[in-house]
């Protein structure tokens, strides 16, 4: 026998059993996004590799070692998208959407060739938001409040907010030089990665999780001492807005984010319940990116949240989930089986929203009831010879208490409407 082909390492099936939780998260996220007037955008999973190099930055984990890049048949270098922002920016430029402010959201799979572990996969899923054309800080506050509303909708209470500012490009350049000078003075304490990054992406050194580096990082100069008047006012406005909304946060001057394109506001939502992979949602402002990718200069702010990490959190305290099927139609005997699909269609017409599974493939009473039970439906609808003659259906509760009731077919949709 030949060996079974398996899924690719770090890329997972989502089996039916897991779907209700994913759907609950996605549905609630969508409802929250719509409550703020955000519109959905969908972009291709594959883009020119150049797009990611020019936006995320060549000297980043993503571009150096995590991208799934390949040559198209004509020789173009293409990549599976590792994140959503670059594609979104490309799409709004290409689609001519920058004439007015845009509040957009997306969801879907992202691909990064990382070492798979809990909370870190090679195909993972994000929901993200990108807003174009607003300079903030009011909109920065709005996107953070939106994430808070999402946690509330999901019943999550164990997330905390960290914020920082990266200043403007010029301020960051001065800070960067100062940081390099400082790190040069502590070369012997830097790990290999940080030494490699010292002149290419020194801010990223602050992001190092290497335990031996904690001391060097803690004593490093702070970006907050390098802010000009405007950046300082922006950051103060941002924090004041969060405070006014009753949202507590910690300022973490070492929070720099891994990607090149951020400026000013950055933030992360973090949990202690998922071990090392504790960042559930991360975002910030990227005012220079649209212009850098060839569009008219347009300020922008956004975030992305990792669905696998949210799922992992919610598995610990799952929200109530709706049953996948409300009712299972059992049809016993030839006459009933011949009518079953028609009765089911009639019910779906009469009661939109009804999730009805109709028995297919025949079987005796016992056998069909087993399938009804396995469907997870709380109700069985039973159609037999007698019911056909009387124009009725038996409604039998499959879970918990309740008596079987015979309901005229004409009243059935109304009867079920009160019970689903």
**Interface ranges with ligand ATP (CB under 6 A):** 83, 112, 114, 119-121, 124, 126, 258, 277, 279-282, 304-306, 308-309
In this complex, which beta carbon is closest to ligand ATP, that of residue 11 or of residue 338? 11
- Please state the closest distance from residue 218 (CB atom) to ligand ATP, in A: 19
Give the residue closest to ligand ATP by C-beta.
306
d(CA 186, CA 416): 72
C-alpha to C-alpha distances, 311 to 13, 59, 154, 238, nearest whole angstrom: 14, 31, 10, 29
In this complex, which beta carbon is closest to ligand ATP, that of residue 54 or of residue 396? 54
d(CA 359, CA 339): 11
- Please state the closest distance from residue 137 (CB atom) to ligand ATP, in A: 20
Phi then psi for 199, rounded to 5 degrees? -100, -10
DSSP code string of 213-235: GHHHHHTSPPGGGG--HHHHHHH
**Total Cβ atoms within 10 A of residue 140:** 28
- Please state the closest distance from residue 60 (CB atom) to ligand ATP, in A: 9
User: Residue 407: which region, alpha, beta or left (left: phi > 0; alpha: psi -120 to 50)?
Assistant: beta
- Find the Cα–Cα–Cα–Cα dihedral 273, 275, 281, 284, rounded to 10°: 130
In this complex, which beta carbon is closest to ligand ATP, that of residue 18 or of residue 338? 18
- Please state the closest distance from residue 305 (CB atom) to ligand ATP, in A: 6
Residue 123 in contact with residue 110, Cβ under 8 Å?
yes
- Please state the closest distance from residue 304 (CB atom) to ligand ATP, in A: 4
d(CA 258, CA 166): 12
Structure tokens at 31: 């409802």
d(CA 122, CA 115): 8
Beta strands in 66-140 (DSSP E): 69-71, 77-80, 102-111, 123-132
In this complex, which beta carbon is closest to ligand ATP, that of residue 125 or of residue 326? 125
Cross-strand bridge partners of residue 279: 270
In this complex, which beta carbon is closest to ligand ATP, that of residue 259 or of residue 340? 259
- Please state the closest distance from residue 111 (CB atom) to ligand ATP, in A: 9
- Please state the closest distance from residue 264 (CB atom) to ligand ATP, in A: 16
- Please state the closest distance from residue 128 (CB atom) to ligand ATP, in A: 8
In this complex, which beta carbon is closest to ligand ATP, that of residue 66 or of residue 178? 66
- Please state the closest distance from residue 268 (CB atom) to ligand ATP, in A: 7
Residue 326 in contact with residue 356, Cβ under 8 Å?
yes
In this complex, which beta carbon is closest to ligand ATP, that of residue 28 or of residue 113? 113
Residue 211 in contact with residue 276, Cβ under 8 Å?
no
In this complex, which beta carbon is closest to ligand ATP, that of residue 120 or of residue 176? 120
In this complex, which beta carbon is closest to ligand ATP, that of residue 75 or of residue 211? 211
Rg of the chain in Å (alpha carbons) = 27
């Amino acid at each position: 026998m030949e060996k079974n082909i398996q899924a690719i390492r770090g890329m997972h099936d989502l089996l039916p059993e897991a779907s209700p939780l994913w759907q609950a998260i996605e549905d609630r996220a969508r409802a929250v996004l719509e409550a703020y007037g955000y519109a959905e955008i969908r972009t291709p999973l594959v883009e020119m590799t150049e797009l990611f190099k020019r936006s995320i930055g060549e000297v980043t984990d993503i571009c150096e070692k995590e991208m799934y890049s390949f040559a198209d048949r004509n020789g173009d270098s293409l990549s599976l998208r590792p994140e959503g922002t670059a594609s979104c920016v490309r799409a709004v430029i290409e689609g001519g959407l920058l004439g007015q402010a845009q509040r957009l959201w997306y969801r879907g799979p992202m691909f990064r060739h990382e070492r798979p572990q809990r909370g870190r996969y090679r195909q993972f899923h994000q929901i993200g938001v990108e807003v174009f054309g607003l300079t903030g800080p009011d909109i920065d506050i709005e996107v953070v409040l939106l994430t808070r509303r999402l946690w509330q909708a999901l019943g999550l209470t164990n997330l905390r907010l960290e914020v920082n500012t990266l200043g403007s490009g010029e301020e960051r350049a001065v800070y960067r030089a100062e940081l390099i000078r400082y790190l040069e003075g502590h070369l012997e304490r830097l790990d290999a990665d940080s030494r490699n990054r010292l002149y290419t992406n020194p801010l990223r050194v602050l992001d190092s999780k290497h335990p031996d580096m904690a001391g060097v990082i803690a004593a490093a100069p702070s970006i907050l001492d390098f802010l000009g008047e405007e950046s300082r006012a922006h950051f103060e406005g941002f924090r004041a807005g969060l405070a006014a909304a009753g949202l507590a946060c910690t300022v973490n001057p070492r929070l720099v984010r891994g990607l090149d394109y951020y400026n000013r506001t950055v933030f992360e939502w973090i949990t202690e319940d998922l071990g090392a992979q504790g960042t559930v949602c991360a975002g910030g402002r990227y005012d220079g990116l649209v212009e850098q990718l060839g569009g008219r200069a347009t300020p922008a702010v956004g975030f992305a949240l990792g669905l696998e990490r949210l799922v992992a959190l919610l598995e610990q305290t799952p929200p109530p989930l709706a049953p996948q099927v409300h009712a299972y139609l059992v049809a016993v005997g030839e006459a009933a089986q011949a009518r079953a699909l028609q009765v089911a269609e009639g019910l779906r017409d009469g009661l939109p929203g009804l999730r009805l599974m109709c028995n297919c493939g025949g079987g005796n009473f016992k056998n069909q009831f087993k399938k009804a039970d396995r469907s997870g439906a709380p109700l069985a609808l039973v159609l037999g010879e007698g019911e056909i003659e009387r124009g009725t259906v038996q409604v039998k509760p499959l879970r918990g208490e309740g008596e079987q009731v015979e309901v005229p077919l004409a009243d059935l949709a109304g009867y079920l409407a009160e019970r689903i």
